[in-house]
Homo-oligomer: A and B are copies of this chain.
Amino acid sequence: MDFRTEFKPLTVQPQEIEEKSFAMITEELGEHSFTEEQYKVVQRVIHASADFELGRSLVFHPDAIRAGIDAIRSGKPIVADVQMVQVGISKPRIQKYGGDVRVYISDPDVMEEAKRLNTTRAIISIRKAAREADGAIYAIGNAPTALLELIRLVKEGQAKPGLIIGVPVGFVSAAESKEELLKLDVPFITNIGRKGGSPVAVASVNALSLLAEREG
């Protein structure tokens, strides 16, 4: 047994690890048809998932990157569907433009309303967000019902998102909700299939805020 209280530091620097990872991703991914800016998102998603199939399955509305950067730079809020997405998003680059990262799913009024209507808290939280967060970036990594509700509200003119990042994961409705998103004429980032998740939503927002920062 060793009762030292001082330890030898390992030679691991977060910045170095990230740079090395990104180089490996670019090399292994090889050819692709993403734009340089879209690729920043793809690369960060692969970094967060170690899943090239997931990275390749990403689909970008042509205005998605521009809309995301503009929303961040004009201080629009980010609406996360779940707390895991909310805590994962890097805040300083959002806050420096006046934005914040919101999550409504555990608000008492949302929980009460979901119970009353016998539906999911995810759905009710999106209704609340739609009332409060015009022009927001929606980052949906978990709940297909949240994405489906947002699509419905957009179609009815009751939600005005700046960008929808719709990457819920799962077996029931996840892939279908993304198919619906693909038909929508609003800026979106999504992927084909069942995969997705909170880290994918987080990585997408973090990539966009880095692109926003690059513009000064």
Contacts and interface: CB of A to CB of B under 8 A. Distances in A.
Interface of A: 1-3, 7, 9-10, 12-14, 17, 20-21, 24-25, 47-51, 83-84, 86-88, 117-120, 123, 127, 145, 148-149, 156-158, 169-174, 193-199, 202
Number of copies: 2
Given A1-B157, A171-B21, A14 B88 contact: no
Of A12, A174, A198, A202, chain B has the most CB atoms within 10 Å of the CB of: A12
Nearest to A158: B2
B195 A145 contact: no
Contacts of A20: 171-172
Given A156-B1, A171-B21, A9 B87 contact: no
B48 A9 contact: no
B123 A9 contact: yes
Given A14-B120, A20-B172, A127 B198 contact: no
18 contacts: A9-B117, A9-B118, A10-B120, A12-B119, A12-B120, A17-B170, A17-B173, A20-B172, A21-B170, A47-B170, A49-B169, A49-B195, A50-B174, A50-B194, A50-B196, A84-B87, A86-B87, A88-B198
Given A10-B123, A50-B195, A24 B171 contact: yes
